[in-house]
Structures are given as C-alpha cells and as structure tokens.
Amino acid sequence: MQPLADVKVLDLTWHVAGPYATKLLADYGADVIKVERPGAGDPARAYGPFPADEPHSERSGTFLHLNTNKRSITVNLEDEAGKLVIRELAGWADVVVENFAPGTLADLGLDYDSLKQVNPGVVMCSISNFGQTGPWRDWKATEYILAAMSGLTYTVGLPDKEPLKSVDHLQEYQAGATAAMAIMGAVRHQRLHGTGQHIDVAIYEVACDTADRRTTMLTGYAYTGLMGSREASHAGVLPVAVLPCGDGMVNIVASPPARWPRFMRMVGRPDLIEDPELHKPEFWGKPEAREMVDSVLYPWLMERTKEQVTKEGQAARVAVTPFNNTLEVLRDPHLRARGYWTRARHPEAGVLPYVGPSFRKEGEGWRFKRSAPLLGEHNAEVLSGFLGLSSGELVLLRETGAI
C-alpha cells in the first residue's frame, strides 16, 4: 500500500504552487479531489506547452504535469448549494488545501474557522504570496516580484545588464513542496492527537529562505565586507565558465592551476605540460596566457559535440557537464535506466511522457495511477458516491450553476 493511501485531500487550489503540493500528496497515494470552476476550470489549463503547439484546455502540459492522480469536480464556491457541497466534502477530508487571496474563503464562509466546525480534526493549508497576516497580506505579486524582493535575482545575469529571474514558476514549485512537507507534519499531529491545524505558507518567505547563492554571498560579506555582484564568469585564465561547442553549450571547471596537466591532456596538448615558460608564475599574469589557453581550447570544443566533450573531460578527470535541452533530458540514458519516465495516455492529449518520483523508498511509494482529469470528469462519481446525491439532484445543481 502507498504511504499516503489513507489520507483524503480536498484540493481548492489553482495555478502552480497549490496544485504542486497536492500532486506530491496524490503521487504517494492520497485521494485528492480537485475542485475547479464550472466551465472555466483551473487557469493553469491555459498554460503551455501544448502538444503540436495547439492551445486546448485539456492539453496544457503544465496542467497535465501538476494534476496527475487527482479527480476533478466542478463547484461554484459563490453559490449556496456549492458551498454546502464544499462543507460536506470538508467533513470527509483529512486535509483541505487552498491558495486563494487571503480573506477570500472567510468571505465565502469556507475558511478554517468555518470548516473546523464541520470537521474539528481537519488540517487546512493556505498558500499565498505574502501570508495570511502582516502589512503586505493583500498585495498582489508575480513570481518575478517575489524573487526580486527576496534577493534571489540580485546575482543572476550579466554585470552590465538588469537582474534576471530564475526558471519559470520555480518559487511556486518550492512553495508547493514546502506546503506538502508541512501538511504531512500536521497530518501526523492529527493522527496522534485528533486535532487539526491551519498552515500558513507564504511564497515570499519560501523565496527568502532559499539558500541558492545567498549563503555564499552572506558568508563572503561577513568576512570581507564586499557585496556579491553579477558576473559573466569567474575571473582567471583556466576556464570556469559556460562555453560553446559543436552542438550546444558545456560547462567546464578547469582551475585551479593544479588541474593544468589534466586540462592539457583533455585538449590534446600534453606537450605544453612541461613547457618551461608555462611554469613561470609571472606568465599566468600576462594577456598571452589567456590567448594561449583560448587558442587551444576553442578549436578543440568546436570540433566536438556535447557528448564528446563530456566523455573526454571525464576521461581526463576535468569537471565537464553538458547543457541539455528538454529532448536531451528525455533521452538521458541514466534516467531511462532508472525508469524515471512514465508514458501514459490522456483522452485529449494522447500519449505523453511524465516525470517520475522525486525520491525512492523501500516498498511501495510513488505511483502513476491516472493522468490529469478532464474538467469535472468525476462530478457524478464524487457527488453521488461520497455525498449520496441522486442523478436528479446532480441535474438540478448543474442547471442552477452550483456545479
């Protein structure tokens, strides 16, 4: 049995951070019921990429990734009958996860204080930009704003250009992972003590807590008083940089000078290792040193593919890695050997590859049970099966716009 097979989750999230948190729970066995807006669904259904670059609400690569192993129902949270459905499902659930703007669910009568009257042991996790309290609670923000405010963009980019953000949605994914971890702690408390908790996750605080370059920068500042800055590459003659080769880019770390013999063997110039001129310390401070290194390195790189550079670098014990695009990651022999990729059929998107587990454990853990749901695909299954509504009642709820 999967480790979270006895955990029931009511998922009121949309976009990225919340759905990623509930995806992690669902992938390890939790029964996750995703609530979407009737007719429109989760806005992430409009996020690309799309198969064949044809936008379609049921074929969003982002949505398909974030919502595997869930069931979808449609409920209008502003409708009184829809609110009743949510309250009854909250009575069924162990966990409720939401990422509306702070105060939204309180206005609807569906906040933690309201739902714990239905289910005193329920765990609710609220994910928002700045948290449920504080002077910035109601501020709107994009992920780039949150990354910039937290200092994460300060050292990203070129020294004479503006700072750059990290990979799209990165802070939201990290917030989702943080939320999933916090939820599991609260579920353990729930099982031990029978009481629920309200978890407050702020994406801004998650970004502020991200080590990334910050620890190195702060340590450097503490000892030297110098602030970090954006750099094109590390200074020096021997390469510590991203460099072009025959079919893309590679990263090479060949300094300090102790690696000089290995570097020269890699580029096919062992004759330079014992060159007496190169053993003079003053030589490495001259412009001719960089010109010499570049003159042997760049022709060698441009004659080779990323794969060839990587293999020859490894053979010479020089740190070399390729910069892979998405297709190259899909073909990665190591990931394939470990069975990381899963191929599954979706009724609208067709057969696609899906990522595998973030970690592995002895016994049953991560499992791909179903692809992302169609909008409202499980209305009858959930509302009739869990709440006992008749087919006539479902028709009435649909006609009145409650579902």
In a domain, 232, yes or no: no
Domain boundary among 257, 290, 324: 324
Question: Quick one: 47 and 121 in the same domain?
Answer: yes
Among 122-131, 179-188, 351-360, name the one with the lowest average pLDDT.
351-360
Count the neighbouring beta carbons within 10 Å of the beta carbon of residue 238. Answer: 22
Average confidence (pLDDT) over 160-174: 83
In this structure, what CATH number is given to the domain that contains residue 291? 3.30.1540.10
Beta bridge partners of residue 8, listed in sequence order: 31
Question: Quick one: 186 and 265 in the same domain?
Answer: no
In a domain, 231, yes or no: no
User: What is the reported pLDDT for 228?
Assistant: 66
Of residues 371 and 256, more confidence is placed in 371
In a domain, 262, yes or no: yes
Segment 52-73, tens digit of pLDDT? 999 999 999 999 999 999 999 9
Structural domains in the chain (count):
2
pLDDT at position 192 over 80: yes
User: What is the reported pLDDT for 80?
Assistant: 96
Of residues 372 and 209, more confidence is placed in 372
> Tell me, what DSSP letter sits at residue 279?
G
Question: Quick one: 134 and 174 in the same domain?
Answer: yes
pLDDT band at 216 (very low <50, low <70, confident <90, very high): low
pLDDT band at 164 (very low <50, low <70, confident <90, very high): confident
Cβ contacts of 106-115, under 8 Å, gap ≥ 24: 108/77, 108/78, 108/83, 109/83, 110/12, 110/77, 110/83, 110/86, 112/198, 114/87, 115/87, 115/90
Among 149-163, 195-209, 211-225, 352-366, name the one with the lowest average pLDDT.
211-225
Q: Does the CA dihedral 142-144-148-151 come out positive or negative? A: positive
Most confident of 144-148, 271-275, 333-337: 333-337
Of residues 94 and 234, more confidence is placed in 94
Among 20-34, 137-151, 245-259, 300-314, name the one with the lowest average pLDDT.
245-259
Question: Quick one: 25 and 168 in the same domain?
Answer: yes
pLDDT at position 281 over 90: no
In a domain, 160, yes or no: yes
User: What is the reported pLDDT for 133?
Assistant: 97
In a domain, 225, yes or no: no
Give the C-alpha separation, 74 to 98, whole Å. 15
Domain boundary among 324, 356, 374: 324
Are 45 and 60 contacting, i.e. CB atoms less than 8 angstroms apart? yes
In a domain, 216, yes or no: no
In a domain, 150, yes or no: yes
Question: Quick one: 26 and 169 in the same domain?
Answer: yes
Range of the domain at 255: 240-324
User: What is the reported pLDDT for 233?
Assistant: 53
In this structure, what CATH number is given to the domain that contains residue 393? 3.40.50.10540
Average confidence (pLDDT) over 9-29: 97
Question: Quick one: 159 and 62 in the same domain?
Answer: yes
pLDDT at position 227 over 80: no
Question: Quick one: 359 and 258 in the same domain?
Answer: no
pLDDT band at 388 (very low <50, low <70, confident <90, very high): very high
User: What is the reported pLDDT for 363?
Assistant: 85
Count the neighbouring beta carbons within 10 Å of the beta carbon of residue 295. Answer: 11
